[in-house]
Chain A
Amino acid sequence: MKLDQGQIAQYLGDHFPGKVLVAQSVPSTQQWAKQSDDSVPAAFLAEQQTAGYGKRARKFFSPEYTGLYLSISLPNIPVAEMPKAGLFTTGLANTIANVLENYYPGKHLGVKWVNDVYLSHKKVCGILVEAQMTGTKLSWIVGIGINLSTVDFPDEIANQVASIGHTPIDRNCLAADIIQNVWRLKQDYQSGKFIDEYKQRLIIRDHEVTLQLADRAVTGQVRGIDEQGRLVLETTDHYYQAFSDGEVIKVQY
């Protein structure tokens, strides 16, 4: 079914104080959001992205109708919240995994640190938050790309990504659910109460991983995350370290 702005707004009711905009095709909903007024909340959705992107401008494959691509503008973030950003970005993964599981019963979604949502070793949803800071004016633009039922992925990513399933679902309802839950997360993420659930979803928990840092790689067993959302690794006997940056480049399953 097609995305319908009216439907989504209706589902949202007053759980989200901003506008909802729907386009057929845009280069990227993130770009769209950034170009718009970021002093008011708003949600931007598109059927298709021709230049969808994720972390560090990596491409996000966004064919029409089989996925859900949206960006949510969260304005007026107090600058003092920036140091907690890691808690927010990890919380997003947990929130979205929760929402999705309601639409795909029986599917157990996992999370790969920091906030990739996974189903059985493959990525089904990417999340990127872009912050815009001008002096003390700060907004967070949450970008979410979900492979719902996409089948034909480009060769170079076919081994790492997948879609969730082919159960027909109401994408407008799903969109509204996500928008309102993200809005709610923004209000209360600082409590960190989602951490346990997140830890439970962590698919690389106990696995040996290699984490690529700025100029070196660290290998260790994943032991969980801490209250700042940092990844805890046991690198040698008795030696635990928490990392706030780095990318998991290798996982020993």
Chain B
Amino acid sequence: MKKVLIANRGEIAIRIIRACHELGLQTVAVYAKEDEYGVHRFRADEAYQIGAGKKPIDAYLDMDDIIRVAKQTGADAIHPGYGFLAENEEFAEKCAQNGITFIGPTVEQLKIFGDKITAKEVAEKNGLHTIPGINEPVKSMQEMQDFAHQHGYPIMIKAAMGGGGRGMRIVKDDEELKTAYDRARSEAKASFGDDELYVEKYLENPKHIEVQILADEHGHVMHLFERDCSVQRRNQKVIEFAPSLALDDQRRKEICDAAVRLMKGVHYQNAGTVEFLVTKDNFYFIEVNPRIQVEHTVTELITGVDIVRSQIRIAAGADLHKDLHLPAQDELTMNGYAIQCRVTTEDPENNFMPDTGKILTYRSPGGNGVRLDGGNTYAGAVVTPYFDSLLVKACVHARTFHNTVEKMIRVLNEFQIRGVKTNIPFMLNVLKNPTFQKGEAHTTFIDQTPSLFKFDHQADTQQQLLNYVGDVTVNGFNGVKRRDQVNQADVKLAPMQLTTDGLLPIVNAKDVLDREGTAAAMDWVKKQKLVLLTDTSMRDAHQSLFATRMRTHDMLPVADIYDRALPNVFSAEVWGGATFDVAYRFLGEDPWERLKALRKRMPHTLLQMLLRGSNAVGYKNYPDNVLKKFIDRSATDGVDVFRIFDSLNWVEQMQKSIEYVRDTGKIAEGTMCYTGDLLSPHETKYTLDYYKQLAGQLADAGAQILGIKDMAGLLKPEAAYELVGELKAKYDLPVHLHTHDTTGNGVATYDQATRAGVDVVDVAMSALSSTTSQPSMSSFYYSLEGNDRQPELNIDNVEKINQYWAGIRPLYDDFANGIDAPLPDLYQTEMPGGQYSNLQQQAKSLGIDDFEQVKAMYRVVNQLLGDIVKVTPSSKVVGDLAIFMIQNNLTADNILERGKTLDFPESVVNFFAGDLGQPYGGFPKQLQEVVLKGQKAITVRPGSLAAPVDFVKETDKLEQAIGRQPSEEEVISYVLYPEVYLDYYKRHQQYGRIGVLDTNTFYQGMRPGETVHVHLAPGKTEILRLDSISDVDVDGNRHLFFAVDGEQVELPVEDQTHADVKVKVPKADPSDPGQIGMPLNGTVVEILVKEGEHVKKGDALIVTEAMKMETTIKASFDGTVEKIYASEGAVMDSQDLLIQLKADE
């Protein structure tokens, strides 16, 4: 034998080719057209297409064509593998007729074992038990009962016309038989139209044991022990192993000997397998597979015998013992255990439907005791639907069954296959199941164990992050301009002198709070001679400067050393305000995770949050039970200081929050918003007395520390001196001052407040300070040089931390508000800095370019509304109304009259309706009437009207939506922001832990040639390099070529910047009446003609739509539709060519 043709494909073809090459034989492969890329074709020495024009599977069944190729190439022998023509006696016959050796048994043997009846007869003749049954339809119940008594219950009644599991009934005893018989008859008649019944013994929980046989042409037949293939799903083998744990030595010998006896009885040749169903008491022959089997591998592993090699040599005339040197049967031993798992693209969560597609990543395992028999598996391979879904057979071999199972689990986990689904998660479930591990799984094990179908859904973090980076790289980040170059990504914190953990000599506010409670902590604060600081760098600073966009990733390096670098800081403001909303909506981050991460890293620093009395961190008025839950959870997760305020300074809306915070044992800072100018003689509303009274109300409400929130930077230095002085004199509470440096006097104000005895002031690190943020920490520190209240600070550490923030800030340039100088005119306008640029933009987009006009109107509106406190959301009311008035040419004089017929902006209507609460001094009645137009206004706290939320119901709803039990934090977020939270959740499922990406990559994606290091966990870094980005392909995708930890990975990404389905078409030539162009920018609605169609003048050709105008374009002459460029649904520009008409001659 010199040349072998392999009449098969996939892994078995490769297996046979390998054996041939080891034997020094030439190989010829055949392939169907759809298998052009089949690996087996490229591994063989020669390869030829067969079955041209036939369906894929039929190609491999084209006997004549295969023989043709064999003859043409001079192949001596054909190995049929398994499946296809392996058991086809006609094919074996044809081979013989053409002088080609068929590597397998004789034609006669194929005939015998191809027929279930003859096979059974032969088995019985050779003394094997077969499953007892009556071969003809049963005529009476008595006959069935007799049978049952002879062979024992349980029995199976089968409808003659049934099949594939239908029309079968199991009967356990005589009693049951009485009713079962009649029922079976009538059911059969009803379902199949025929009431013929057969009876057979039913084997309960049998094991499927098969024996490998090897026989030569010289009469030697031996077995190579058995395989256990009981692990089946719907009668398909899933996992096979050898030897079986269910057989003791004696049983094993009985079964194997029986198999040999049978095969000897027919003078069997070559390889084959005898299959049995084995119960506790007996074993029953089912059939013989006269060919090599898929799971032959495990037998090879435990015996060391190469079965395929043997097959080839046997077919060439070799003797088992003389030539193949196999030991005598009684000297054949088996060594250890082997398991095979068939890795396929079947999706266990989609009913095992085979997945198709391109394999994007393929990494296979290896190592000691691992054998892989692969098919077409490599990165870039396309899995088609034409053939079976087997990717690779993973086999392992070890000394004990337990070790073998462990090794297989390791091997399956090591596989990394992306691009197509696999059945690996399912097989892992089976391998980990105790019944399987004891070797006790029987044929119905899988079908009867639903827990095998529960999957863990471990997120593929690497793939998710890659998907995210790919998406941002191609499609950008909403609202961010794409840059060609980015600022340096790796910003590090310089080493600094840190107070060593455990030896903290300093007692700070956090220590006292934790040890002795809030009262003691507040006493401690009051007793401090030096002024204390709150660091807003991680909250208000970036909220003010760049739209709250700072990501947790950039905070963590500072948080890690914070306690030890700045132990004297009173508190770090790190939560609340807009951070909650922005985290979910824009950063794809969980704000609770941020809080917990910071708490963990900063155990010795008070953490502070900003809370709006009635809205917590949301935009609606929530019922009290929601506030309580939110506050409780926040306190548990790490907030120590709750700064509570109300946008109208209405204490009634702060009461509940203060109460709830006190209940948690944490610090409640009742806060008043500062507005107006208490120094001005013209100030009639917001006078010193006003604030004193307000402070009294806050104290009565239970505030443990008084906050002054100067959101617009209106508190002038002398005013600060007066105000703080009076408050300190009158109330025995610490005073905490917060200002914004928008008007440029921040440090001066703090200096005066310090002189007056203020306890704590809010500052930000220099790089994140000034203009709309807080005054600079260092500047303030230096301003008190020589003053005996100068705060205690390691200014060196402050500078080092500041350098870090200075490196971080440019990463957020895209969100900067554009205010780069003080705005002292705000003393007149009283517009909070955060609103300034927003309002400017809002006005511009509506055509109002003169911002001075807007500012002037803002002041007018403030007076019209009764001079209210202006902070979110009350500031929005003023802004919206100002713009509205400009747009509608309203003035203070004419608004009452003209406003009667106008619909006011929603925010304004809501304000007057009492949704924001009751302003100090009440509503201006006339304007209220005009705005509300009869709508009722409330006079009570809106939150008191809200029905309490049913948290049990909400938890259920959320559980439904996300498919698992939610945490308490998740439920709270869902209650506060249902849609935003669910959107975040969906995105999180899709992209995973995008928080670990550096900020540049997060907002800007990557550029070709760039490398980023992604720190997934301590000690676990991924190196990601983007090599190139392709153009958009015909499907609208770009292909990104990455190297992940050095390995090439291709990622297709849908390019959505072209998602307007803009078709690239030429423009219509206006001088050619046959070129029909788009009349204006719009959408093609309907194309009424086909290419080649003849049209007459006036016939309608195409309908387009834009801005509620539907245009029907008609032919202006008789002619033929030559070409249609447009497609229905396409969005096209004016003059784009739609149709080319050719006039009749």
Q: Which A residues have a C-beta under 8 Å from some C-beta of B?
A: 55-56, 79, 82-83, 85-86, 88-90, 108, 110, 114-115, 127-135, 137, 140, 196, 199-201, 203, 205-207, 213-216, 223-224, 226-227, 229-230, 232, 234-240, 244-245
Q: Shortest Cβ distance from B813 into chain A, in angstroms? A: 13
**Known contacts A135-B1116, A244-B1081: does B887 contact A199 (CB below 8 Å)?**
yes
Q: Shortest Cβ distance from B1081 into chain A, in angstroms? A: 6
Which residues of A lie under 8 Å from residue B478 when comparing CB positions? Answer: 235-236, 239
Which residues of B lie under 8 Å from residue A85 when comparing CB positions? Answer: 1080, 1106-1107, 1109
In whole angstroms, how far apart are the Cα atoms of A110 and B887 in the complex?
17
Contact check, A110 vs B846: say whether CB atoms are below 8 A apart.
no
* Nearest chain B residue, comparing its CB with the CB of A242: B845
In whole angstroms, how far apart are the Cα atoms of A240 and B313 in the complex?
78
Q: Shortest Cβ distance from A72 into chain B, in angstroms? A: 14
In whole angstroms, how far apart are the Cα atoms of A108 and B902 in the complex?
8
In whole angstroms, how far apart are the Cα atoms of A71 and B354 in the complex?
58
B1098 interfacial contact with A, CB 8 Å = yes
Contact check, A216 vs B1059: say whether CB atoms are below 8 A apart.
yes
**Known contacts A82-B1079, A244-B1081, A244-B1082: does B905 contact A223 (CB below 8 Å)?**
no
Q: Shortest Cβ distance from A43 into chain B, in angstroms? A: 19
Q: Shortest Cβ distance from B37 into chain A, in angstroms? A: 33
Contact check, B1110 vs A86: say whether CB atoms are below 8 A apart.
no
In whole angstroms, how far apart are the Cα atoms of A161 and B842 in the complex?
32
* Nearest chain A residue, comparing its CB with the CB of B933: A108
The 7 closest A-B CB pairs, nearest first, are: A135-B1116, A86-B1107, A131-B1111, A240-B845, A236-B479, A134-B1114, A114-B1108
B1083 interfacial contact with A, CB 8 Å = yes
> Apart from A235-B478, A236-B479, what 4 extra A-B contacts exist at CB < 8 Å?
A82-B1134, A200-B902, A223-B845, A239-B479
Q: Shortest Cβ distance from A137 into chain B, in angstroms? A: 8
Which residues of B lie under 8 Å from residue A79 when comparing CB positions? Answer: 1079
Contact check, B1109 vs A236: say whether CB atoms are below 8 A apart.
no
B715 interfacial contact with A, CB 8 Å = no
Which residues of A lie under 8 Å from residue B907 when comparing CB positions? Answer: 206
Number of interface residues of B (CB under 8 A): 51
* Nearest chain B residue, comparing its CB with the CB of A215: B1061
**Known contacts A131-B1111, A133-B1112, A200-B902: does B1106 contact A86 (CB below 8 Å)?**
yes
Q: Shortest Cβ distance from A231 into chain B, in angstroms? A: 10
In whole angstroms, how far apart are the Cα atoms of A28 and B1060 in the complex?
34
Which residues of B lie under 8 Å from residue A130 when comparing CB positions? Answer: 1109-1112
Q: Shortest Cβ distance from A141 into chain B, in angstroms? A: 10
Main DSSP-derived SS at the A contact region: mixed
B669 interfacial contact with A, CB 8 Å = no
B287 interfacial contact with A, CB 8 Å = no
* Nearest chain B residue, comparing its CB with the CB of A230: B1107
Contact check, B1109 vs A214: say whether CB atoms are below 8 A apart.
no
Which residues of B lie under 8 Å from residue A237 when comparing CB positions? Answer: 479, 547, 586, 815, 838
Q: Shortest Cβ distance from B544 into chain A, in angstroms? A: 14
B1085 interfacial contact with A, CB 8 Å = yes
B1109-1141, CB under 8 A of A: which get 1 and which 0?
111111111000000000001110010000000
Among A134, A196, A207: residue with most chain B CB under 10 A: A134
* Nearest chain A residue, comparing its CB with the CB of B909: A206
B476-488, CB under 8 A of A: which get 1 and which 0?
0011000000000
B801-831, CB under 8 A of A: which get 1 and which 0?
0000000000000010000000000000000
In whole angstroms, how far apart are the Cα atoms of A247 and B250 in the complex?
79
Contact check, A82 vs B1080: say whether CB atoms are below 8 A apart.
yes
23 intermolecular pairs with C-beta atoms under 8 Å apart:
A56-B1085, A85-B1106, A110-B903, A115-B1108, A128-B1108, A129-B1108, A131-B1079, A131-B1112, A132-B1112, A132-B1114, A133-B1113, A134-B1116, A135-B1116, A196-B887, A205-B903, A206-B906, A214-B1060, A214-B1083, A214-B1129, A215-B1060, A230-B1107, A244-B1106, A244-B1107
* Nearest chain A residue, comparing its CB with the CB of B1062: A214
Which residues of A lie under 8 Å from residue B845 when comparing CB positions? Answer: 223-224, 232, 234, 240
Which residues of B lie under 8 Å from residue A83 when comparing CB positions? Answer: 1080-1081, 1134
**Known contacts A133-B1113, A245-B1083, A245-B1131: does B903 contact A200 (CB below 8 Å)?**
yes
Contact check, A135 vs B1073: say whether CB atoms are below 8 A apart.
yes
Q: Shortest Cβ distance from A194 into chain B, in angstroms? A: 14
A245 contact from B479, B815, B1107, Cβ within 8 A = B1107
Which residues of A lie under 8 Å from residue B1030 when comparing CB positions? Answer: none
B216 interfacial contact with A, CB 8 Å = no
A55 contact from B842, B1108, B1131, Cβ within 8 A = B1108
Contact check, A200 vs B1106: say whether CB atoms are below 8 A apart.
no
Which residues of A lie under 8 Å from residue B921 when comparing CB positions? Answer: none
Contact check, B1060 vs A213: say whether CB atoms are below 8 A apart.
yes
B495 interfacial contact with A, CB 8 Å = no
A90 contact from B837, B887, B1060, B1107, Cβ within 8 A = B1107
In whole angstroms, how far apart are the Cα atoms of A114 and B1130 in the complex?
20
B847 interfacial contact with A, CB 8 Å = yes
* Nearest chain A residue, comparing its CB with the CB of B1134: A83
Which residues of B lie under 8 Å from residue A203 when comparing CB positions? Answer: 903
Contact check, B1134 vs A206: say whether CB atoms are below 8 A apart.
no
Q: Shortest Cβ distance from A106 into chain B, in angstroms? A: 10
**Known contacts A56-B1105, A200-B887: does B841 contact A128 (CB below 8 Å)?**
no
Among A90, A130, A237: residue with most chain B CB under 10 A: A237
In whole angstroms, how far apart are the Cα atoms of A226 and B887 in the complex?
13
Which residues of A lie under 8 Å from residue B1108 when comparing CB positions? Answer: 55, 89, 114-115, 127-129
Q: Shortest Cβ distance from B1083 into chain A, in angstroms? A: 6
B888 interfacial contact with A, CB 8 Å = yes
In whole angstroms, how far apart are the Cα atoms of A156 and B75 in the complex?
74
- In B1071-1114, which residues have CB < 8 Å from any A CB? 1073, 1079-1083, 1085, 1097-1098, 1105-1114
**Known contacts A206-B880, A214-B1061, A232-B845: does B888 contact A196 (CB below 8 Å)?**
yes
In whole angstroms, how far apart are the Cα atoms of A118 and B547 in the complex?
37
B901 interfacial contact with A, CB 8 Å = yes
Which residues of B lie under 8 Å from residue A82 when comparing CB positions? Answer: 1079-1080, 1111, 1134
Which residues of A lie under 8 Å from residue B888 when comparing CB positions? Answer: 196, 200
Q: Shortest Cβ distance from B178 into chain A, in angstroms? A: 57
* Nearest chain A residue, comparing its CB with the CB of B814: A238
Contact check, A238 vs B841: say whether CB atoms are below 8 A apart.
yes
Q: Shortest Cβ distance from A103 into chain B, in angstroms? A: 16
In whole angstroms, how far apart are the Cα atoms of A237 and B582 in the complex?
10
B335-348, CB under 8 A of A: which get 1 and which 0?
00000000000000
Which residues of A lie under 8 Å from residue B1116 when comparing CB positions? Answer: 134-135, 137
**Known contacts A83-B1081, A134-B1116: does B1106 contact A214 (CB below 8 Å)?**
no
* Nearest chain A residue, comparing its CB with the CB of B837: A238
In whole angstroms, how far apart are the Cα atoms of A86 and B1082 in the complex?
10
In whole angstroms, how far apart are the Cα atoms of A199 and B905 in the complex?
12
In whole angstroms, how far apart are the Cα atoms of A216 and B837 in the complex?
30
Among B586, B903, B1109: residue with most chain A CB under 10 A: B1109
* Nearest chain B residue, comparing its CB with the CB of A101: B901
**Known contacts A89-B1107, A224-B846: does B903 contact A108 (CB below 8 Å)?**
yes
In whole angstroms, how far apart are the Cα atoms of A117 and B1073 in the complex?
39
In whole angstroms, how far apart are the Cα atoms of A86 and B1079 in the complex?
12
Contact check, A205 vs B905: say whether CB atoms are below 8 A apart.
yes
Which residues of B lie under 8 Å from residue A234 when comparing CB positions? Answer: 842, 845
Q: Shortest Cβ distance from A202 into chain B, in angstroms? A: 9
In whole angstroms, how far apart are the Cα atoms of A96 and B1036 in the complex?
44
In whole angstroms, how far apart are the Cα atoms of A214 and B1081 in the complex?
13
Which residues of B lie under 8 Å from residue A132 when comparing CB positions? Answer: 1111-1112, 1114
* Nearest chain B residue, comparing its CB with the CB of A55: B1108
Q: Shortest Cβ distance from A183 into chain B, in angstroms? A: 17
Q: Shortest Cβ distance from A252 into chain B, in angstroms? A: 10
Contact check, A236 vs B586: say whether CB atoms are below 8 A apart.
yes
* Nearest chain A residue, comparing its CB with the CB of B845: A240
B668-680, CB under 8 A of A: which get 1 and which 0?
0000000000000
Which residues of B lie under 8 Å from residue A137 when comparing CB positions? Answer: 1116
Which residues of A lie under 8 Å from residue B1083 when comparing CB positions? Answer: 214, 245
